Structure 1
Amino acid sequence: MPAVEAQLLDAIEAIRPALQVDGGDVRVIALDEETGRVDLELLGACGGCPMSSLTLKAGIERILKDRVDGLTEVRAKGIDFDVVGETA
């Protein structure tokens, strides 16, 4: 398993318990190491929660970018980032 993928999966495992407490979860759909983009799917209660965009941008994205080398963009299925706004 490539180092970036291993870092990503380790970071997801660290995040997962906080999501599961509220009945949610997260799944990696795709990782593009060339562009530094990861696509996620928020599952369970997180999938339909109105706060899911905030959870993603302020929580998941921040943690993943801190723990995964070269990660530049975190996207999630079903979240409109034009409404949320991009982070630097």
Structure 2
Amino acid sequence: MDQEIERVLDEYVRPLLHSHGGDIEVLEFTADGLLRFRLRGQCAGCPAADLTTEELIHTELTQRLPQVKKAVLVREVSPDLLEQARNILRNHHV
């Protein structure tokens, strides 16, 4: 199932996310059909993340893979975003 999820993401979701400087990382897929994921890059923490989740990610996955019942965004600060912030702070205090 993991390969099927990645295939759908690669074909239908990631191209749009990449065009905005972002990506998606699957965190967990449970036996009851719950897919937990995190947005990465520029999409992490984006104000439109909820809309992206509902309109793009959830829709594509549930329509193309009946095993996926729900796709849920896990909101946490991504390591990429933390590193970007650290670099900005380091450069600002030089």
Equivalent of residue 39 in structure 2, options 25, 39, 42? 42
Q: Kindly, what percent of the aligned residue pairs are identical? A: 25
Q: How does 1:1-88 map to 2 (within 5 A)?
A: 4-14=1-11, 15-32=13-30, 34-78=31-75
RMSD of the TM alignment (CA)? Answer: 1.3
Q: Cα offset for 1:25?
A: 0.5
Displaced runs of 4+ in structure 1, greater than 6 A?
A: none
TM-score, normalised relative to structure 1: 0.79
**Which residue in 2 is equivalent to 1:84?**
none
Higher RCO structure (Cα 8 Å, ≥6 apart)? 1
> How many aligned residue pairs are there?
75
Gaps of 5+ in 1: 80-88
Distance in 1 of aligned mates of 2:50 and 2:29: 19
Which residue type is aligned with residue 35 of structure 1? D
